Structure 1
Amino acid sequence: MQVAEIISDVLGQDVPIRVVAYDGSKAGPDSSDVALRILTPRALARLVTAPGTLGLARAYVTGEIEVDGDVYEVLDAMADLTLHDLTRAEQVRLARRLLPLWLRHRQPPPPLEYRPPGRLHSKARDRKAISHHYDVSNRFYEWVLGPSMAYTCAVFPTASATLEEAQAAKHELVAQKLGLQPGMRLLDVGCGWGGMVMHAAAEHGVKALGVTLSRNQAEWAQAEIVRRGLSDLAEVRHLDYRDAPESEFDAISSIGLTEHIGKDQLPNYFRSLYERLRPGGRLLNHCITQPRTPLTRRLDPFIARYVFPDGQLEPVGHLISVMNDSGFEVRHEENLREHYALTLAGWCANLEAHWDEAVAEVGVGRARVWRLYMAASRLGFERDNIQLHQVLGVKLLDQGRSGFPLRGW
């Protein structure tokens, strides 16, 4: 059986892109600007053992599948594809044909897959999971993220704004929602490379503390704080948010941390942040969410094994309910998913502009992981498969006073 025939059996006759296989067979329209090249039978063997995104990702990461053109364009072209329904007899026939190929060409999973050891969401396991993704290389992240070193959704004031302008706008939006004023104390949990901490200190005169489980992030951020002359106001520590100081803060920002917490830990997470706030203090929680209540708790297997081990996304309604139950009054909520699609498009462009340097720095396999996951995530935000929500809450003062104006944040 030719490879193109196998592809047509699985995907249907209307394959929207060119598929070119190692045996010379083809599927899909010759007029397509992008193509999927199956370079070796090992790619098909991976699809036998891991059908769907994980098998395709393994084959792409190892170079057994190549893409002609933009990875995003290939994913976009295939996003509306409905898998061809095979009868039971067709499934059995296909499995019999592929079994010898699997026996000859099966391979272990690529070494870049990672499952952290230990009890789920223990401090030790969380530290390993965070290190796997964020302690790759600060230089690599400088190329991908740009000068802002912000690894979270930007907020584009206009469609033509640059990525750097949009990241600055995001930090200012958070500052405005939190009502930051000179002399206040801010805690930024999961602070990354310290962008929010430095913005709060430099632009609002706030005494800001950031904590992160990534040693690379903490070292880079602290050095940048010194370089900018912000040491009197800003500090980043290599620390678990659960071990952050329990002093009364005026405001807390959590930008991109909740995805790593896990559903069962959310009540303790929001309760611990509530306890660290003074009465009248505000929390801004910014995180990726599910667009609706998921039928399964599993993250996409490619993302779970290659990108964010132990990551878990919840619908925004659940997050708001847990915030309420933890004592917060929710004052504002908004969905910024289109902004994250634009942010990811910027990161993808940065990676392509520095592709050779990135490969030399972290290896071709890891560079391919980032290329694939960022392109797929961009499409996910565009198609409403995932969302990005900011939720603003307050720890009420006595007699139910919120400290908020009648209109505005």
Structure 2
Amino acid sequence: MTMLRTNRTDDRGSTDKLTMAEILDAVSADALNLRFTAFDGSSTGPADAPYGLDLKTPRGASYLATAPGDLGMARAYVAGDLDLMGVHPGDPYPLLDAMGEVHFRMPPARTAAAIARSLGVELLKPPPPPPQEALPRWRRVAEGLRHSKTRDAEAIHHHYDVSNTFYEYVLGPSMTYTCACYPTDGATLEEAQENKYRLVFDKLRLKAGDRLLDIGCGWGGMVRYAARQGVHVIGATLSAEQASWAQEAIKREGLQDLAEVRHSDYRDIRETDFDAISSIGLTEHIGVRNYPSYFGFIKDHLRTGGLLLNHCITRPDNKRTSTGAFIDRYVFPDGELTGSGTIIAAAQDAGLEVRHEENLREHYAKTLAGWCANLEANWDACVAEVGEATARVWGLYMAGSRLGFDRNIVQLHQVLAVKLDERGKADLPLRPWWTA
């Protein structure tokens, strides 16, 4: 560990200039478990540590200094000014896991002043962020009010219209970008995604001839699964690339008479009296303040006795909704997460009766591990398709999300609800009718 020199002063009280490694030591609450090297030749942390960080440029130091936390690190890493040592960029999970044990503190005033002098005025000026970064929320007003149709469409475009080919590399043949449900610990990602659709289908008690609306349908995985069972399905997505891919897939499978995917806001669907509605990975995008109208829409579009399956990422508490700076700027602009209690309350306040809920948190950690493995295996092709910076965003985001599910920072809940008749009858079996 590099020794700090912040206490060495002359009679005038001046302090020696600190190296990048010494600055990191000064703000670390504990001994580092990672190796750190920097462009100025300094280093700290165990020389034999399996994982580490290499700060390659002064601009990287500016990113870290002017946006402390995950946003500054993301900027430096995406821009190529920070490298992760000991891991593949497609799956940096082991390094992020180790970094979870690193804690920072505010150094004493004299040390903080020495850090500022060592960095200098130029390094304390925020550099322009990488082009992959979205504007901060307060600057997105040109796109409309948060969760207006126009702004929601732009947010979806930012994340989902990257490249269908890129998603094929990362997601695999199912083209399913939501949590899988693993029937066994050793099941493959594809088996788990197929099982997830089977579970949703069974929970909704769907059968041939029924009508299903799948809102936020992505590339149409649920749409095509249900259509293959003889169900008439309409899917809606705000992503033009998803809708185009899904319609082509429907044609390839000969499902045109049963299935349709529209490039549409779900709020523009006019058909009603659906036997069931599935919402798989949409609720994160609509905004907590819009839950009453969201669940109201669902109730209005279900027939009496119809069922809703709401599948979305949640928080383990119901106290906050923000997603964090990195996720908001690089992954899901305007996304909001809340606890399952808030979702259940909103559904019931809208007049739907919740009959069952379950947490698939560990399943999402396994799903993300599968996606990272795909990204790593197809790294060169992914970089050729979208560029290294965007590929780095995805590796960082998916590995970090996996860590969040592992550590119960985020969860994944499925909530099953029914639209009762005017006498409060549900006409459902007394016990769960599906196989978990």
Q: TM-score range by the shorter chain?
A: over 0.9
Identical aligned pairs, as a percentage? 57
Is 1:34 aligned with 2:34? no
Is 1:109 aligned with 2:129? yes
The structural deviation recorded for 1:101 is 4.9
Tell me what 1:48 maps to.
65
Q: Deviations over 1:138-179 (max 9, x none)?
A: 000000000000000000011110000000000000011101
The structural deviation recorded for 1:262 is 0.4
Tell me what 1:271 maps to.
296
TM-score, scaled to structure 1:
0.97
Tell me how far apart the structure 2 counterparts of residues 287 and 173 of structure 1 sit (CA, whole Å).
15
The structural deviation recorded for 1:80 is 2.5
Tell me how far apart the structure 1 counterparts of residues 110 and 53 of structure 2 sit (CA, whole Å).
28
Tell me what 1:76 maps to.
97
Is the Cα–Cα contact under 8 Å of residues 397 and 403 in structure 1 kept in the other structure? no
The structural deviation recorded for 1:341 is 0.3
Is 1:10 aligned with 2:27? yes
Tell me what 2:364 maps to.
340
Is the Cα–Cα contact under 8 Å of residues 132 and 390 in structure 2 kept in the other structure? yes
Tell me how far apart the structure 2 counterparts of residues 90 and 279 of structure 1 sit (CA, whole Å).
67
Is the Cα–Cα contact under 8 Å of residues 63 and 73 in structure 2 kept in the other structure? yes
Q: Deviations over 1:184-215 (max 9, x none)?
A: 0000000000000000111x211111000000
Tell me how far apart the structure 2 counterparts of residues 131 and 359 of structure 1 sit (CA, whole Å).
20
Tell me what 2:308 maps to.
283
Amino acid at match of 1:230: L
Is the Cα–Cα contact under 8 Å of residues 288 and 387 in structure 1 kept in the other structure? yes
CA RMSD of aligned residues (A): 1.3
Between structure 1 and structure 2, the one with the greater Rg is 2
Tell me how far apart the structure 2 counterparts of residues 357 and 200 of structure 1 sit (CA, whole Å).
32
Tell me what 2:180 maps to.
154
Tell me how far apart the structure 1 counterparts of residues 71 and 273 of structure 2 sit (CA, whole Å).
45
Tell me how far apart the structure 1 counterparts of residues 114 and 224 of structure 2 sit (CA, whole Å).
61
Q: Deviations over 1:80-119 (max 9, x none)?
A: 222134223332332232233515x752111111134221
Structure 1: 5+ residue runs without aligned partners? none
**Which stretch shows the higher mean deviation, 94-103 or 153-162?**
94-103
Please, which of 285, 291, 316 is the counterpart of residue 340 of structure 2?
316
Tell me what 1:249 maps to.
274
Please, which of 177, 188, 200 is the counterpart of residue 174 of structure 1?
200
Q: Within 5 A, what are the aligned runs for 1:282-301?
A: 282-295=307-320, 297-301=321-325
Q: Secondary structure at the match of 2:423?
A: helix
Tell me what 2:409 maps to.
385
TM-score, scaled to structure 2:
0.91
Q: Secondary structure at the match of 1:311?
A: coil
Amino acid at match of 2:210: M
Please, which of 204, 213, 218 is the counterpart of residue 192 of structure 1?
218
Amino acid at match of 1:65: L
Amino acid at match of 1:324: Q
Is 1:125 aligned with 2:165? no
Tell me how far apart the structure 1 counterparts of residues 206 and 309 of structure 2 sit (CA, whole Å).
12
Q: Deviations over 1:50-76 (max 9, x none)?
A: 111100000000010001222111110
Is 1:403 aligned with 2:431? no
Dislocated runs of 4+, deviation >6 Å: none
Tell me what 1:58 maps to.
75
Q: Secondary structure at the match of 1:133?
A: helix
- Judging changes above 3 Å, is the alpha-carbon distance between structure 1 residues 393 and 106 closer, same or farther for their aligned structure 2 residues? closer
Q: Secondary structure at the match of 2:219?
A: coil
Is the Cα–Cα contact under 8 Å of residues 274 and 303 in structure 2 kept in the other structure? yes
Q: Secondary structure at the match of 2:103?
A: coil
Pairs aligned (count): 406
Tell me how far apart the structure 1 counterparts of residues 19 and 323 of structure 2 sit (CA, whole Å).
34
Tell me how far apart the structure 1 counterparts of residues 157 and 26 of structure 2 sit (CA, whole Å).
41
Is the Cα–Cα contact under 8 Å of residues 287 and 388 in structure 1 kept in the other structure? yes
Is the Cα–Cα contact under 8 Å of residues 19 and 118 in structure 2 kept in the other structure? no
Tell me how far apart the structure 2 counterparts of residues 145 and 221 of structure 1 sit (CA, whole Å).
14
Is the Cα–Cα contact under 8 Å of residues 341 and 378 in structure 1 kept in the other structure? yes
The structural deviation recorded for 1:24 is 2.0
